[in-house]
Structure 1
Amino acid sequence: MTEEDDATKYAERADFLEGDELYGWTVDHEYFRSIQRKIIQSGAKLLVGPRGSGKTHHFRYAHLSCKDNKSGPLTVYVSFTRYYNLEPYLRDSREALQIFHSWVLAKILIAVHEDFPDSYLTASEDQPALNPGSLREFIAEAERGADPSVMNKAHRSLSISQVTALLETIMVNQRRRRVVLMLDDAALVLTPEYMVEFFDIFRSLKTLKISPKASVYPGTTEYGPRFHADHDAEKVQAWLNVNDEKYGVFMERIARDRLGLTGDLLGADVSKLLAYAAFGIPRAFITMCRQFIDEQSQSVQQQFNKVINGHVGFRKSEYFSLADKTPQYRDIIRVGWDVFEGMVEEAKRHTEESIPERKATIIGLVKNDDQKRERMIRFLVEAGLLYELPPVSHGPDRDYGRFMPHYGFLIDRRAFVKGRGWSPAKIISGIEAPEKKHPIRRKMESILDADALRRIELNLPACKDCGTERISDHQSYCHNCGARLIDPSIFEECMKIPVDELPITEKQKERIKSQTDIRTLGDIVSSADPASELRKARHIGEKRANKIYRLAKSVEEEFFS
């Protein structure tokens, strides 16, 4: 196997795999097949899971499977990863929602044209607004933040009925019985206004012949007042419970069939431990397997500990990155980490007391009507740090939300084994021990001290004119000076990331800053010709300029992923 093949095999994101690779390396397992059946069924569905749980993989696989299968539905796959490029319109234009609405529909139409070009052109020949070339131009303008006054007015008036009519016409042309719309990256968490609009569109796209599906996060996806997630669509769980009886076999198949790992390379017990430490996230498992093989420590124990330490450190930093993306929740996210740490310690202490006969990893938190506390827990679920189980009730005022803290953190703190020795088999035995009959029951007040509880508040930006702090997150005008309050742009904050923080060499950073006009990430990714500007720096030719541009784009994508 070539180095390039090996790198592809260990690719962590389905977005980066070619169709044949994605199709050929998919693990055939009943858990996977059950989700595939849901995706291609009729009816609206929401594919729910945190980052890395495989939502994109499921959609792309289903799309490829149906593409040449004439007995299956006509499928359309669309990714909305670049929605954040439209975020500045929310601050600068009254037409923001109209532009976003048309952008969503245009993205769907272009996806249809790419898969069925001849049928598309036939079905849309009398409608200039559906011209693929001008639709692509409109999408590019919107993602570039063009002035609304210069945009093509026809595309900004695209309607749901135009899209559904065209889809059903092509469906008949292709001799299919129905249409499945796969709308990936639909949890537009950095722009809740767009998220509400998106699910209005989602609901309206559903017809007798068209079944929309969308991938969402388990914690913070906001559906808006007109979309009821449990009524308008069926939720499909794409995050496998680490205690599910199918879990071990599914992860073992990933190691064997996807990664081609044998006992010589990893060891059966180590592979199993890494699978449990991944906590149901295939991307995390693939990453840890690669790191373990690459690690050249003196012993298997040192290799394993280094990989686990790195994994829990990354999970922590990824969680805290939410504070950069949603600064109004900065303190809530920080206090949330204290809650998570408290839950891990509770699970560790109770498991140590009962292991090896029983483990105690399920924690029941008394439900509270405080929306900010609820949002705090939602962030932990979205980050994949807490796995939510069905709630339980033990009588009036004794309703509990049930959660499991991330097993990687419990493994890192030796919660599943007694004594000082290191034995993968004993750790696995502890993990696979039956759960105690009753979960650990706690109130938030028993996990956090009074000071932390007071910090569960929104961080609202002050008035830019007089500096007075806001008193409400719904406030439009300053209560002190009357000036209009403007929310900070998350997109613009990303564009301000300095060159010094890009993953390039120190010499390249110095040359770019001293020999070009580039100072920030935005100067690179927003430039009409970034390669030419980068090549003004000494020793940066065409190949290096392209590589720096790709690295800059990866920083942008990771910021908003």
Structure 2
Amino acid sequence: MTQIYLRTESIKSEDIKGLSVVNSEDLNIINALKSSEPCLLEGSRGTGKSFLMKVSEIEIEEEDPKALPVFVAFNKSSLINTDDDLQFYHWMLAKTIKALANKLRKRGFSVSSYSASLLSNDESDNSDSVEQDLKSIVKIFEDSYKGRSHIDVSSLPDIEDVKEAIESICIENGLERVFFFFDEAAHVFRPEQQRQFFSLFKDLRSPYIICNAAIYPGVTYFGESFEVTHDCTYKKIERNIRDSDYLQYFKDIVFKQANEEIQQAFENQRELFNTLAFCAGGNPRILLKTVQDLEKVNTSSVNSLIKEFYRGRIWAEHTELGEKYKGHQEIIDWGRDFLEETVIPTIEKYNAVRKEKGVDESSIYFWVHKNCPEPVKEALRLLTYTGIINKIGSSVRATRSELGARYEVKYGCILSLEAKPHAESKHFYESLSTKKHPEFGKQHPSYTGIVGFSLVKTDDDQYKASLKSMLEKPIDVLSLLTDWQKEKLKGAGILTIEDLHSKSEANLIESIYSVGPVRARLMKNAATAELLEYLSG
């Protein structure tokens, strides 16, 4: 119905603030990201982690002339495949220094020959040549998916030299600190990458360097040397559908991008908007996606979309994780079955019984014992990553004072099971209660099928096979590209994910006829962002 930005990467930096909507919790996160303490920001896919980091970067530039914010995207981590045991650490280091050098050049700050020599282990004292060397190393790493590569990293500096160089650059240019914003911190199915990331995150700490990073819930491996409680400030993006400002907040987000026709239609039928907003369960991207896909702003279209999206599409994305990463397929498939065949029917039955008894109380919640089998916990963690469920308490007392975790199933997944979702939504929402909900003890019968599962992590050979399979997929699997974009790409001979990845921006501009350079660049950025998110899980 309308074209909407679904990703931060697709938005120009100068447009970020204009599309920004922040509430008190967001302001708290932004202040933490702008503070002198390192910060980790946790949130499921599409909740706005990258956007808040971008807003923080821009505000630092506007407000503090003695600070230098540097945004570093690690979304190409899925392509790294070399014979270097510390491949990810070295790639991150090269990419981080390259981003710093690029930002220094753009801001017109000088880099002395001494600082340049510290940033290069080959004793180069020219900042331009250092940047070119780093660019070359980064490119070789990011092309290594084509075949296991040997990369000479001898020119990369020692981490202590990097810190000394940054201190020198700050003193030379009257800067007090450099802020690094690390987006897509590491590949969620490659734990070793994540451990190396947190080693770098901790190694970089100095009076002149502040590190911030976006991470996912449930699937982050910190390693033995990193302690969340001691080494950073930890923030979560939590947008509870029961918050008093929830509807206004999400209305503002949608109205920042929707055209006047859609705005007026939702103003005239606010309850339809409210239903879609509640269904999204606090996820801006899901709400924007459903608004974009809505054929008309009327009850029939809203009901159809809710059923199609929350009964089908959202589950298909979760199942696709198992198809991409075979080492996790059993756990992923079991988790979906557990939710669809056990948890949700139990919640439905619970709600029906309460309704029959005349108790005005409904639930979208369930509780799992803290001592349930580890594979159950892993399956729930992966469901949290994809955003189908949300962990809203890890030490909640249930019946007989047992301790466990309370989860929330996405509102839309429960509401979509109704024959007329919109007609039921208002009363269902108003009767929601967290006081009572179905409970699954430590030996619940539904766990029988998962007890024997091993918690296999994806090894390099499995990962390489998975990556090869994904690169061969048609571009049709990139769900957030518009049909128009896909047709233009196909018309230019770009049929698979690998075709798209191998095309440079210049190639794309030349290949797509009737599309100017600016639009081609936006298409390339949007397509690359979607491609890299697809590869990362």
TM range, smaller chain: 0.7 to 0.9
Conserved 8 A contact 2:372-2:441: no
| Structure 1 residue 14 displacement after superposition | 0.7
Three-state SS of the structure 1 residue aligned to 2:407 is strand
- 1:272 maps to what in 2? 274
Three-state SS of the structure 2 residue aligned to 1:218 is coil
Q: Call closer, same or farther: CA 1:362–1:520 in 2, change over 3 Å.
A: closer
**Matched AA of 1:281:** N
Mapped to 2, the partners of 1:507 and 1:180 lie a distance apart of: 39
Conserved 8 A contact 2:275-2:426: yes
- 2:403 maps to what in 1? 399
- 1:481 maps to what in 2? none
Q: Note the 1:352-371 alignment, pairs <5 A.
A: 352-354=352-354, 357-368=360-371, 370-371=373-374
| Structure 1 residue 165 displacement after superposition | 2.4
For residue 556 of structure 1, the aligned residue among 523, 531, 537 is: 531
- 2:162 maps to what in 1? 163
- 2:450 maps to what in 1? 453
Mapped to 1, the partners of 2:445 and 2:409 lie a distance apart of: 14
- 2:76 maps to what in 1? 82
Per the normalisation by structure 1, the TM-score is 0.79
- 2:124 maps to what in 1? none
- 2:32 maps to what in 1? 38
Three-state SS of the structure 2 residue aligned to 1:126 is helix
Per the normalisation by structure 2, the TM-score is 0.82
Deviates more, 1:244-253 or 1:317-326: 244-253
Q: Note the 1:1-400 alignment, pairs <5 A.
A: 7=3, 10-70=4-64, 73-86=67-80, 88-89=81-82, 93=83, 95-97=84-86, 99-117=87-105, 118-119=108-109, 121-122=111-112, 124-127=115-118, 129=120, 131-145=130-144, 149=150, 151=152, 153-155=154-156, 158-259=157-258, 262-265=263-266, 267-292=269-294, 295-296=295-296, 300-312=298-310, 313-341=312-340, 342-354=342-354, 357-368=360-371, 370-390=373-393, 391-393=395-397, 398-400=402-404
**Matched AA of 1:19:** S
Q: Call closer, same or farther: CA 1:421–1:22 in 2, change over 3 Å.
A: closer
**Matched AA of 2:263:** T
- 1:491 maps to what in 2? 467
Per-residue CA distance 1:434-476 (angstroms, 9 max, x = gap):
51533322236546274x335644579xxxxxxxxxxxx89xx
Three-state SS of the structure 1 residue aligned to 2:92 is helix
Conserved 8 A contact 1:44-1:232: yes
Q: Call closer, same or farther: CA 1:103–1:289 in 2, change over 3 Å.
A: same
Per-residue CA distance 1:388-423 (angstroms, 9 max, x = gap):
112224699922111011101111123xxxxx7776
| Structure 1 residue 152 displacement after superposition | 5.5
Q: Call closer, same or farther: CA 1:508–1:242 in 2, change over 3 Å.
A: closer
| Structure 1 residue 186 displacement after superposition | 0.6
**Matched AA of 2:437:** P
Conserved 8 A contact 1:373-1:456: no
Conserved 8 A contact 1:50-1:239: no
Per-residue CA distance 1:522-544 (angstroms, 9 max, x = gap):
35534789959x97xxxx86969
**Matched AA of 2:134:** L
Q: Call closer, same or farther: CA 1:528–1:412 in 2, change over 3 Å.
A: closer
| Structure 1 residue 232 displacement after superposition | 2.1
Q: Call closer, same or farther: CA 1:147–1:274 in 2, change over 3 Å.
A: closer
**Matched AA of 1:373:** V
Deviates more, 1:101-110 or 1:394-403: 394-403
| Structure 1 residue 194 displacement after superposition | 1.2
Three-state SS of the structure 1 residue aligned to 2:47 is coil
**Matched AA of 1:164:** K
- Point out where structure 2 has 5 or more consecutive residues left out of the alignment: 121-126
| Structure 1 residue 498 displacement after superposition | 5.6
Q: Note the 1:467-506 alignment, pairs <5 A.
A: 486-489=461-464, 490-497=466-473
Q: Note the 1:417-428 alignment, pairs <5 A.
A: 424=423, 427-428=425-426
Q: What fraction of aligned residue pairs are identical, expressed as a percent?
A: 20
Mapped to 2, the partners of 1:80 and 1:170 lie a distance apart of: 24
Mapped to 2, the partners of 1:455 and 1:234 lie a distance apart of: 37
Mapped to 2, the partners of 1:83 and 1:101 lie a distance apart of: 11
Three-state SS of the structure 2 residue aligned to 1:200 is helix
Q: Size of the alignment, in residue pairs?
A: 504
Conserved 8 A contact 2:373-2:442: no
Mapped to 2, the partners of 1:347 and 1:395 lie a distance apart of: 16
**Matched AA of 1:349:** K
